Chains A and B, each alone.
Chain A
Amino acid sequence: MPEQLAFTIEVFLNGLMAGVLYALVALGFVLIYKASGIFNYAQGVMALFAALTLVGIMEGQVPFSHLINAILGTEVHHFGWHVPAFLAILLTMVVMIVLAYCVQRFVFRYLVGQEPIILFMATIGLAYFLEGVGDLMWGSEIKTLDVGLPQGINVWIDEFTFEATGYGFFIDNLDIVASIVAAILVIGLVMFAQYTKQGRAMRAVADDHQAALSVGVSLNFIWILVWSLAGFVALVAGIMWGAKSGVQFSLSLIALKALPVLMLGGFTSIPGAIVGGLIIGVGEKLFEFLIGAPFLGGATENWFAYMLALVFLVFRPQGLFGEKIIERV
């Protein structure tokens, strides 16, 4: 196989993987927006907070240790135990559900029926609040996240493709795991929304609040459920990104990359988030490889996604899968 072609395929595959990671973050946005019309600016910070809590629990860190030490003059940092990964993930999930309940109970319950822009501002406030709490609770040093996910280049694929095509593909193990996890997550969420009783209630709430109330759906319960699901997705995204590049506060910036994904896929479509993510991921990497590096001086990865999103805004604002706004006049 000619080397250029092999390179292109490798870039394509890596693009798909990167796209999956973007899609994971976008999924959280879609879930909340679908059910409550809230654009959750805090989704990225939720991923960061989830990852921080996970590491904190696994390492046996004392929450708010800096604060406690400053006030009481003590020197505690760790409980001295280490929690196995699986249990830690479950505990972190409990924390995220508690967070979902608090967010609904103390913030959004009072904002029912408000303008979307007000709801959006509430999530901005939530983002800053959560970031600050995360810092106070667990500290802002970069942490390594090790939940036992395989790291490094996949040797098997490298050897297999070398024998088959004369060129060894470098595909990261972590990316493969992330893709599989994301696929399972998406299928699970789509089936949940389509077929289960709570999923149907979720779609009802997403469509018309008044009508949902009249068929007996408790809005508060559904919103807590949705925020919990978004918290779960945030946890998965936090694990994947944290394992890749360590748990650091710049993790919350991946939320920004999710915006073009949502533009493409539509704000209300779960499969759309995945497809949008894949397109952005592949598009980014291929564009950089084929056009950016040779002709435009490189570093096009930074802006390509946003440019693509702009184009979509002009020609198809609801995205590929979003709901077209039909109004019978």
Chain B
Amino acid sequence: MKDNPDSYVTDDGRTIGPTVMEMKNITLRFGGVEAIKDISFDIREGEIRAIIGPNGAGKSSMLNVISGFYVPQEGEVWYKGAQRPPMKPYQVAQQGIARTFQNIALFEGMSVLDNVMTGRLTQMKSGLLAQSLWKGKAEREEVENREIAEKVIDFLEIQAIRKTPVARLPYGLKKRVELARALAAEPTILLLDEPMAGMNVEEKEDMSRFILDVNDEFGTTIALIEHDMGVVMDLSDRVVVMDYGRKIGDGSPHDVRNNQEVIDAYLGVAHE
């Protein structure tokens, strides 16, 4: 990434590479309702891209288009320089895109460790026969993957609840476990749908720290939907602003904050 002429280095020393994912003229309709109207933007390798906007703007729908849960009626998705044909969500996951969900979609019947291990499924190569026989390849792979899962658990500081069934955890911890599961897949792009929702200041600081650490240490590209403007300004390299399915702002946090249209639609003005 460093040798690429398209890359640049940020103020705090991180390298941001060329475009890894690009949405071109995406239009998404549900019957007569246009959830996304002709939106184009790109995500660069190694950056933290925030998608913001009022409720109902189409942000989660956009994330669903990126992760393959919705197929847009018009427009193209370009991934790693090639146009991505319409594909199922599990194929998108296999291509290196991991995500978390707004309302948490963990495997409630399993423990934290098991959930994180499911994140490794795309990286486990042994087939049905090898797994049935167990000895040899399958066992080695399981041990390797278990090590990686444990590292992720350590990284997010959830060792204490490794064996707890996820259904019993409070909301904030569930969000962290979901992040761990997404991280375990060693994704190229990490999609976070409102990772800070329902958290207090301390928890938000912890989560922000984790997100920054992930980006810093692993170079993971991150796209996140977030409502807390303080978090967005602090964390993100660039911001996309959506309103009623249209894009009304695209640029650095500073540019976006001073964009009149964005202020009118979403940010509002500080009261004197």
Segment from A36-44, A193-201, A282-290 that makes contact with B = A193-201
1/0 contact trace for A230-260 toward B, CB 8 Å?
Answer: 0000000000000000000000000000000
Q: Which B residues lie within 8 Å of A199 (CB)?
A: 131
1/0 contact trace for B44-74 toward A, CB 8 Å?
Answer: 0000000000000000000000010100000
* Chain A, Cβ-Cβ closest to B122: A216
Decide if B114 touches A200 in the complex (CB within 8 Å).
Answer: yes
Decide if B108 touches A213 in the complex (CB within 8 Å).
Answer: no
Decide if A196 touches B108 in the complex (CB within 8 Å).
Answer: no
Verify if B119 is at the interface (C-beta below 8 Å from A).
yes
1/0 contact trace for B115-159 toward A, CB 8 Å?
Answer: 001110110101010011010001001100000000000000000
Verify if B1 is at the interface (C-beta below 8 Å from A).
no
Cα-based distance from A192 to B133 in the complex (angstroms):
10
Decide if A208 touches B89 in the complex (CB within 8 Å).
Answer: no
Q: Which A residues lie within 8 Å of B90 (CB)?
A: 212-219
Cα-based distance from A291 to B98 in the complex (angstroms):
61
Decide if B106 touches A216 in the complex (CB within 8 Å).
Answer: no
Verify if B80 is at the interface (C-beta below 8 Å from A).
no
Question: By the criterion of a CB under 8 Å from any partner CB, how many residues of chain B are at the interface?
Answer: 35
Decide if B185 touches A200 in the complex (CB within 8 Å).
Answer: no
Q: Which B residues lie within 8 Å of A207 (CB)?
A: 107-110
Decide if B132 touches A192 in the complex (CB within 8 Å).
Answer: yes
Contact A200 B134, CB 8 Å, known A211-B107, A213-B88: no
Verify if B199 is at the interface (C-beta below 8 Å from A).
no
Verify if A326 is at the interface (C-beta below 8 Å from B).
yes
Decide if A211 touches B106 in the complex (CB within 8 Å).
Answer: yes
Contact of B117 among A192, A200, A212, A328 (CB under 8 A): A200
Decide if A215 touches B88 in the complex (CB within 8 Å).
Answer: no
Name the distance in Å between B119's Cβ and chain A's nearest Cβ.
6
Contact of B107 among A192, A195, A208, A225 (CB under 8 A): A208
Verify if B176 is at the interface (C-beta below 8 Å from A).
no
Q: Is the interface of A mostly helix, strand, loop or mixed?
A: helix
* Chain B, Cβ-Cβ closest to A192: B132
Verify if A204 is at the interface (C-beta below 8 Å from B).
yes
Name the distance in Å between A219's Cβ and chain B's nearest Cβ.
7
* Chain A, Cβ-Cβ closest to B131: A196
Decide if A196 touches B122 in the complex (CB within 8 Å).
Answer: no
Contact A214 B98, CB 8 Å, known A195-B142, A196-B138, A197-B131: yes
Verify if B210 is at the interface (C-beta below 8 Å from A).
no
* Chain A, Cβ-Cβ closest to B139: A195
Cα-based distance from A213 to B105 in the complex (angstroms):
11
Decide if A216 touches B107 in the complex (CB within 8 Å).
Answer: no
Decide if A198 touches B105 in the complex (CB within 8 Å).
Answer: no
Verify if A143 is at the interface (C-beta below 8 Å from B).
no
Name the distance in Å between A215's Cβ and chain B's nearest Cβ.
5
Q: Which B residues lie within 8 Å of A196 (CB)?
A: 131-132, 134, 138
Q: Which A residues lie within 8 Å of B94 (CB)?
A: 216
Contact of B101 among A203, A210, A326, A328 (CB under 8 A): A210
Verify if A323 is at the interface (C-beta below 8 Å from B).
yes
Name the distance in Å between B137's Cβ and chain A's nearest Cβ.
11
Tell me which residues from 75 to 106 in chain B have a Cβ below 8 Å from any Cβ of chain A: 88-90, 93-94, 98-99, 101, 105-106
Name the distance in Å between B63's Cβ and chain A's nearest Cβ.
11
Cα-based distance from A21 to B131 in the complex (angstroms):
28
* Chain B, Cβ-Cβ closest to A268: B109
Known: A203-B107, A214-B98, A326-B168. 19 other contacts (CB 8 A): A195-B134, A196-B131, A196-B132, A200-B118, A201-B121, A204-B110, A207-B109, A207-B110, A208-B107, A211-B101, A212-B118, A213-B89, A213-B90, A214-B67, A214-B90, A214-B93, A214-B101, A215-B181, A216-B90
Chain B contact residues, CB within 8 Å of chain A: 67, 69, 88-90, 93-94, 98-99, 101, 105-110, 114, 117-119, 121-122, 124, 126, 128, 131-132, 134, 138, 141-142, 167-168, 181, 185
Chain A contact residues, CB within 8 Å of chain B: 192, 195-201, 203-204, 206-208, 210-219, 225, 323, 326, 328
The 5 nearest A-B residue pairs measured at CB: A216-B93, A216-B122, A211-B105, A213-B89, A207-B107
Instruction: List 14 contacting pairs A-B, 8 Å CB cutoff, sorted by A.
Output: A192-B132, A200-B118, A201-B118, A201-B121, A208-B105, A208-B108, A211-B106, A211-B107, A213-B88, A214-B67, A214-B93, A216-B90, A216-B93, A328-B167
